[in-house]
Amino acid sequence: MKRINKLAGFTLLEIMVSLLILTVALSAIITVGSSRAETLIELRLQNRALIVANNVLEKYTDFQQQVSVGVIDGKQANGNVDWNWQLTVAPTNNDSILRLDVKVSKDNTFDYSFAQLVGFKWH
C-alpha cells in the first residue's frame, strides 16, 4: 500500500492567496503604466506649445518687426492642434527695451497655458 504524502504540492488556499497577490501587483503595474502614458501625452503637447511660443517670440523680436505696447492675439497650427497664442508687450524701466510675454493655449480664454515664454526687444 502506498502512503499519501500530505506535504507534497500546494493547497487550494495557498494558490488562491498567491493569485490574489499577483492580481494586486499586476493592477499596480497597469496603473503606473497608464499614468506614464498620460504624462507623455501632456509633455508632447507642452513641447509643441513651446515651439509655437518660440516661433512667436522669434517673429516679434526681429529688428524689422515693429511692435507697440499692448496685446496681440493669433493662431498657429503645430502637431495637428490649432494653438491660440497671446503676446503681451509691456514697457520696462529702460525706455529702449520692451518685455514680450507669450502664452500658448488650446482655447481663447487662456485659463490653462501649455507654454509661456518671456523675451525682450530693443527698439
DSSP codes of every residue in 69-86? SEEEEEEEEETTEEEEEE
**How many Cβ atoms are within 10 Å of 37's Cβ, its own excluded?**
10
**How many Cβ atoms are within 10 Å of 71's Cβ, its own excluded?**
10
The pLDDT value recorded for residue 34 is 80
pTM across the whole model: 0.72
CATH architecture of 13-122: 2-Layer Sandwich (3.30)
What gap in Å lies between CA 66 and CA 26, rounded to an integer?
59
The pLDDT value recorded for residue 75 is 96
Q: What is residue 87's three-state secondary structure?
A: strand
The pLDDT value recorded for residue 7 is 65
Question: Would you give per-residue pLDDT tens digits along the chain (123 residues)?
Answer: 566 666 667 888 989 999 999 999 998 888 887 888 888 989 999 999 999 999 999 999 987 888 899 999 999 999 899 999 999 999 999 999 999 999 999 998 888 999 999 999 988
